[in-house]
Structure 1
């Protein structure tokens, strides 16, 4: 869908549908008041008759000639927040599908959000609308004729706010596209989306974007680098591990230190010898959502032309059991030289990430953020609403927290003090790969911290936020919005 801004009248000829906000008690927004006058008080009449109360989430569709008017109940104005605003944006989508209008004037951006301005209203509207229209039907052979999205959504903006609104459209569309890219890859079945497929997507991105160069490390190159922990996880699979390194160079100083984003890319995780239960194992195709998110971010920053150097790594691998698979009790020597006793082969993500974190040192990074569906313990701790944030660097952690709040892509910081290292002691190696039952999300990050001392580092555990279950099963594309906002903030410093 195309998004644009115009200081336009509600009854302009090119407008086929208008979205208006009505508050509880029948209070009309300014645009709704203007429309009511043009309609000789028809909206007010509906309120008097009780057909329209303005209750939160209520919608009503009016037909006036060739123009459709969508009235949206917003509840109490003082109770509107980011979450409720996005819910209202989603409520409109089924009606937009029903009427199939080519051009829509969206006046929901008049709804005031505490602490936000028009930029955020427009950006949130774009991101939410695009996500609500998203569907992944690539592998369906019997597809229903689905209503298409409007060709254009217009936001009515005064001339003095045009620059801010245009920036919101630029940011919102780039982020929404990045989220879609992440969801498309993550929703692919594991018989197609394997480490080689991730590498193909990374190479294709470089072909599309002049500022991006991609190179792929196969198992031979990893062996030469002594990435033995990474390779151990891959041993049980017929699909070769591949580390895709996507370099985006656009800083005015070509030698400027890059930001490195590392995405866990377990394209399928059966748990290895420590086999997972069969129930819901199909969802383990989503164990590569960290890599999918990084891929989405790299697409978004290229579209935004951010003046930064950024390296995205897709740590592609597959964890399966066979006669060559690594075992509980094995001791692995990592690229860093530390030895790790494997107590559970299903704690494989940290073994892939620890060697990738060590490899990241070669880029002399300004900061490194790894993104991983790492632990079920994080889901127990934070549920499906907040990603887990862990870091031993307060400045970096605060920058990520700020970006999460700005983008409304929630993250919650968990502690990472040295006491948790005690749980990783091994009688036979430098480290154990699990730390016992308690604080599992924290001990997983504590394990990774042993490999990240050369640079500022943060870890995002997205096990609870990367995909949805049940009737809405599918990848969410989080935390693309958070990470792009973090990079936007850096580019503006």
Structure 2
């Protein structure tokens, strides 16, 4: 999907060559019943007759009216332009249009529009018009290809927001694609190929480690989860080098359990198909790297994906087994369905070698987090107050929110074991917190945060599908990180090189004149 921004009045927006136009109308702007342009006049009439209310999600559909070049115009009230209200307005507008197979859509903001408003509107539209097609025999292609967003004023922030949203949507939809794929179409090997494809461009590197390399590293916890699976594990190391090597990278660690049966501690059959989404953390890392390739931020980012299935065959790890992690700590595996923390702990130890500025792991880790926060906010756990505040703010700005949860030391008491340094579970009480306390043991050398996305990575029921979260939160955090470090984009043409080219051209002209 392609986005562009133009400064336009409402009158000019109605004469643009698009198949349909969505007009987002805030409640504080009253339409003029005597206006020359038809939308304001017709909207005023609808309000006067009680056919339209100035509340979020109210819509008025107009078709082939005089003075409008486009056939379809949908006016949708965005109320006070709060993120949730803009989302409601866009969803209602798209519901009125989607049956018309729109290819080119205009979205016009009446009144003042902020960069965050544009991003919310476009992300909502992309989400509503998305459809998964990869494993369908007769896939229906997405009709909507181009979206032109406009407002009555101009600012660099608005144009930049559209550019950022273009990259964000590309990243979110790539994350959705891989999370939505059935497990036989998204094996660890498939994920490795996807990572290599994303990292094929300039400023990227990608290394994929197999079972032998992982064994040599001593990743005993990761290998324990993988030993029951016929599909070979993959440890994916992606690097985006947009800044000087001296800049410490941000490391993103994504849980890549491509299918989770629970292992010997097998899950109930009901809804087990949704365990293909247990690699939502890995999918989000792939999505972020896809967006980085478009934005070319002047930062360094490392992506680590420990990818494997969790299967219950005769070689599978058993409850009560003790394994040695890469850190040297021994772990008593009391529940093989608590496997995510086992693959993550070795990846977190591996992250130390990059001397990172921060490490953020992303995982569909615990059902307990779903009970605590539902599907609205991801769980945020962090040992660093500054990092926690930055991630929380990034979530609020992006509309991909999280909520900080506690990490009191007392929560770790249940992880004590008589037979190993630590157990991998601590009972049902505060399960999301004790899981985070387990991970915290492997993060003492860097600033660390853990995002539990078990409630936010996918939807169940009739609308079953991946959400692409928390790509929005992570990308906003990286954008803020780039700005804080003084450079938003890579300088692809160094000043010295530009000066040399200018000098060469000047000498050539002088020689020609002589």
Same fold, TM-score > 0.5, yes or no: yes
1:137 matched residue in structure 2: 133
Distance 1:106 1:241 in 2: 45
Distance 1:11 1:142 in 2: 41
Going from structure 1 to structure 2, the CA distance change for 1:407 and 1:56 (only over 3 Å counts) comes to closer
Partner-residue secondary structure (3-state), 2:56? coil
Distance 1:91 1:431 in 2: 51
Partner-residue secondary structure (3-state), 2:36? helix
Instruction: Give the deviation of 1:185 after TM superposition.
Output: 0.4
Query: Counterparts of 1:253-268 in structure 2 under 5 Å?
Result: 253-268=244-259
Going from structure 1 to structure 2, the CA distance change for 1:310 and 1:316 (only over 3 Å counts) comes to same
Instruction: Give the deviation of 1:103 after TM superposition.
Output: 4.3
Out of 322, 345, 348, the residue aligned to residue 336 of structure 2 is 345
Query: Counterparts of 1:35-54 in structure 2 under 5 Å?
Result: 36-39=35-38, 41-54=41-54
Instruction: Give the deviation of 1:41 after TM superposition.
Output: 3.3
1:156 matched residue in structure 2: 151
Instruction: Give the deviation of 1:192 after TM superposition.
Output: 1.3
Going from structure 1 to structure 2, the CA distance change for 1:261 and 1:109 (only over 3 Å counts) comes to farther
Partner-residue secondary structure (3-state), 2:183? coil
Q: Is 1:127 matched up with 2:119?
A: no
Partner-residue secondary structure (3-state), 2:84? helix
Distance 1:240 1:190 in 2: 14
Instruction: Give the deviation of 1:232 after TM superposition.
Output: 0.5
1:90 matched residue in structure 2: 91
CA contact (8 A) 2:255 2:362 kept: yes
Out of 365, 386, 400, the residue aligned to residue 395 of structure 1 is 386
Alignment deviations for residues 179-213 of structure 1 (CA, whole Å, 9 cap, x no partner): 00000000000011010011000111122x21110
Alignment deviations for residues 312-348 of structure 1 (CA, whole Å, 9 cap, x no partner): 1121011000100000010001111111111000000
Going from structure 1 to structure 2, the CA distance change for 1:33 and 1:101 (only over 3 Å counts) comes to farther
Going from structure 1 to structure 2, the CA distance change for 1:89 and 1:419 (only over 3 Å counts) comes to same
Distance 1:319 1:378 in 2: 21
Distance 1:194 1:225 in 2: 22
Query: Once superposed, what is the RMSD of the aligned Cα atoms?
Result: 2.0
Instruction: Give the deviation of 1:10 after TM superposition.
Output: 3.6
Partner-residue secondary structure (3-state), 1:489? helix
Any unmatched runs of 5+ in structure 1? none
Most deviating of 11-20 and 456-465: 11-20
Distance 1:35 1:386 in 2: 45
2:172 matched residue in structure 1: 179
Partner-residue secondary structure (3-state), 1:74? strand
Going from structure 1 to structure 2, the CA distance change for 1:447 and 1:42 (only over 3 Å counts) comes to closer
Instruction: Give the deviation of 1:109 after TM superposition.
Output: 5.9
Instruction: Give the deviation of 1:3 after TM superposition.
Output: 2.2
Count of aligned positions = 477
2:353 matched residue in structure 1: 362
Partner-residue secondary structure (3-state), 2:252? strand
Out of 413, 436, 441, the residue aligned to residue 422 of structure 1 is 413
1:59 matched residue in structure 2: 59
Going from structure 1 to structure 2, the CA distance change for 1:91 and 1:217 (only over 3 Å counts) comes to same
2:308 matched residue in structure 1: 317
Going from structure 1 to structure 2, the CA distance change for 1:193 and 1:147 (only over 3 Å counts) comes to closer
2:488 matched residue in structure 1: none
Out of 449, 468, 478, the residue aligned to residue 469 of structure 2 is 478
Alignment deviations for residues 269-304 of structure 1 (CA, whole Å, 9 cap, x no partner): 000000000011000000000000011011112211
Going from structure 1 to structure 2, the CA distance change for 1:296 and 1:147 (only over 3 Å counts) comes to closer
Distance 1:349 1:446 in 2: 13
Partner-residue secondary structure (3-state), 2:390? helix
1:249 matched residue in structure 2: 241
Partner-residue secondary structure (3-state), 1:67? coil
Out of 244, 264, 276, the residue aligned to residue 273 of structure 1 is 264
1:118 matched residue in structure 2: 114
Instruction: Give the deviation of 1:418 after TM superposition.
Output: 1.2
